[in-house]
Structure 1
């Protein structure tokens, strides 16, 4: 059984709030890091998109929280493609407590591919579409230390 692309991150002290849990806005940061690493795995780097005259912009992000994450927890962020349209695509990021395999949060992010100069919608090229469809199964990147 294959696993989706996974990035391991450790919760740092400064990412927690007065309730001693990860502050809600930090999840957006975690998701951005995971998606950037997913792109790096698929395309070689985000810069390779820009070199093609393409960019990707978030148009929607919805996150549902299930349980807390706390200082020094290791989180596993699993990224997979949910939908591919003509110019837009959606990714799902599941954030799990790594040791307990407990769901902490699930986010769905919709992006629009744009022309990097004009910032107008651009069709997702066939080769990128194929890479999104394939994903990055069983890739694990450990940034937890």
Structure 2
């Protein structure tokens, strides 16, 4: 996985509360970093999440997360969270995540969301307008958030 595989990244600084006494980031915080990256990806794509209506009338629910740790991050470092949609199915999408410190890949990840009815949480098709936004965004020049 290379940084150049991604069209979008978002930078963040590791906060003191995210690290242990040795200054190493607790492993659970990387999922929060991935979530921040995905939120910023939606925003950059013009599909920002609204708590009442979901993503422009749609609602996505996380159903699977997977992180693989390669090297630790430390307090006060700047991390770049790279995000892309690797697969867009009928009612689900798979995000691929790469968390880097400069050129060093620290964590790889995968987050799968299902598009579903807000009440029943039953899968529904991903809207065509969202698919079009993804296609346009993923083929545009790289962006940093």
Q: Structure 1 residues 132-141 or 42-51, which shifts more? A: 42-51
Q: CA RMSD in A?
A: 2.0
Separation (CA, whole Å) in 1 of partners of 2:62 and 2:144: 24
RCO (CA 8 Å, sep 6+): is it higher in 1 or 2? 1
* Pairwise CA distance, 1:118: 2.8
Post-superposition offset of 1:19? 4.2
**Structure 2 matches for 1:29-40, cutoff 5 A?**
29-40=32-43
Instruction: Give ranges in structure 1 of 5+ residues lacking alignment.
Output: none
Other-structure match for 2:86: 82
Does structure 2 retain, via aligned residues, the 8 Å contact 1:80–1:135?
no
The answer on 1:57 being equivalent to 2:67 is no
Unaligned runs of 5+ in 2: none
Do 2:60 and 2:115's aligned partners in 1 also have CA atoms closer than 8 Å? yes
What number of residue pairs does the alignment pair up? 139
SS of alignment partner, residue 54 of structure 1: coil
| Residues 16-35 of structure 1 mapped to structure 2, 5 A cutoff | 16-35=19-38
Matches within 5 A, 1:1-145: 3-47=6-50, 50=54, 52-98=56-102, 101-135=103-137, 137-141=141-145
Partners of 2:17 and 2:27 in 1: CA distance: 13
Q: Distance in 1 between matches of 2:88 and 2:55?
A: 22
Q: Distance in 1 between matches of 2:136 and 2:69?
A: 27
> What's the CA shift for 1:3?
4.9
TM-score by structure 2 length? Answer: 0.86
Q: Flag the 1:116–1:110 CA change in 2: closer, same or farther, 3 A.
A: same
